[in-house]
Structures are given as structure tokens and as C-alpha cells.
Structure 1
Amino acid sequence: MLFFGGALFITLAVGVHLTPYFPSVSDFVSSVKSVVVYDNREDSCINLVNEVVWDVKPRVISSKGDGTVDYDKIWDWSRNGKAKGCDFEKLGRGDVKDLLNGSWIVVAGDSQARLTVQSLLSLILNEKRMAMIMGRFV
């Protein structure tokens, strides 16, 4: 099963990257009349999903007066311009739990994968449970 999946992935990747170099395949694909491509990129909200605004506020985390400061980082989508009409919404803890219910998540990789898992867990778990597992990620 793993061999078949790997072979299929490699075949598709090579096919997608080499198709433009073979004119007969490109002509065949462009000659199909039932293919309809909608290209409304300037009117699409998907291009505006990366327009975020950060609100960073310092928060003192030590009462000893040693100057230890952490930062509350709150983000939201830009409310000016075209992004205002897209009605983007953040997913809350309950929404994420409903979406991931019964799903397996496999993450493999380096420190970026570790940070992805940490962010996902901090979204799902409450602060007390997140503090219990933070020692494993440090």
C-alpha cells in the first residue's frame, strides 16, 4: 500500500510538472470543451485571507519585580478595504473539536512541525492541560 501510494504520488507530481513541455498533452487539455475555469482572482476573498492585523500587548508574568514580561498576541482580519466584506470568522475551541472529532492527525518534521502541533494543541486544550504537556515540547 505504501509503495503504491508513493508511486502514484511521484507519477502525478512528474506528470503535472512535465505536462507543459509536451504540446500534444497541452493541446488535448485545452481542446476539451467541457472544462470551465473561473478566474475571478481580484474579486475572490481567498486572496484576502492573509490580510491580518496583530495587536500585541505586554503582560507582566512575574510578581517579583524582575521585569519578566510576556506578550498577549491577538490577531484578526483587516476590517478595512475589501476584506471587510468577506465575513471571515475565527474558529473557536468548540468548532475545532467538532471538526476534528474522530480524526487522526499525523505530523512529521522538524521544529516547524513541532510548532504546528503546539499551536493546534493550544487551540484545542485549555491552559491547565496545555501547561501539563508543554514540558514535552521544550
Structure 2
Amino acid sequence: MDDSQITLVQDSFAKVAPIKDAAAQMFYADLFETAPGVKPYFANSDISEQGNKLMATLAVVVNGLRDLDKIVPVAERLAVAHVDYGVKAEDYGKVGASLMRTLEKGLGEGWNDEVAKAWLAAYTTLSGVMVAAAYPEAA
């Protein structure tokens, strides 16, 4: 990721933050519709609370993109913890696709090819680190 991509991700996320509850609902609705196999991971979760955690985690990651040395270890620990919930390496692609569709809907006219490429770079970077930490054989 280059500096301009980081700026695009951070600026676009700042536009999503005011609608974080609606964005989280859109994300989980999309995820459960397009990847129903992940729904059991959330069987014992309050989805509203889970949405709050998702948006808080995204905020930390987005704000930390200029200092990956600090957020990578946190992302790695999070990924390893998710293995206990049954999350598989291939689920990261499904989550990423739902995130992109949610951002596209949430940002409306603020979503364009440049913003999409920046988010894809950010997600690919972090999900790659997470998959490598939790599933070294799949990395």
C-alpha cells in the first residue's frame, strides 16, 4: 500500500463511521446471504454487539495503516483466536467481498475504482497476515 491508498482508505472510512450501525447491518446481511456457511460462527453472538466490534476493529486497523508494526501483531492474535470459532482460511475472501460490497453501498458516489483498489490493497495486506498467522499451511 502506498501513502495515497492509505489516505483514500482513511478518508472513505471517515465517511462510513457516522453510519457505522447501518454499515455493520449491511455487512452481516450481505455476508450471511452470500456465504451462509459462515453464519454458524455467529450462532451464540448478539449480531448488534458483533457489529460494534467489527466497526471498532476496522477503525483501529484503518487508523493504524501508517504503523503496521503495531496493528499486525493484534491482527495475528485475532486471527488465531478466530480458529476456535471454526473460521477457515477461505472465509477471509468471503468476508473481504462482503466488506467491499458494503463499502460500495455505504459510500455511494464516494466509491470509485481508486477507492476500491485502495480498500482491496488494505484488506489483502491484513487478511494475508491473518491467514499466515492462523493457517501457516494455507498461506
By relative contact order (CA 8 Å, sep 6+), the higher-ranking structure is: 2
Relative to its length, the structure with more helix (as a share) is: 2
Q: By the TM > 0.5 criterion, same fold?
A: no
Q: Could you tell me the TM-score, scaled by structure 2's length?
A: 0.23
TM-score (norm 1): 0.23
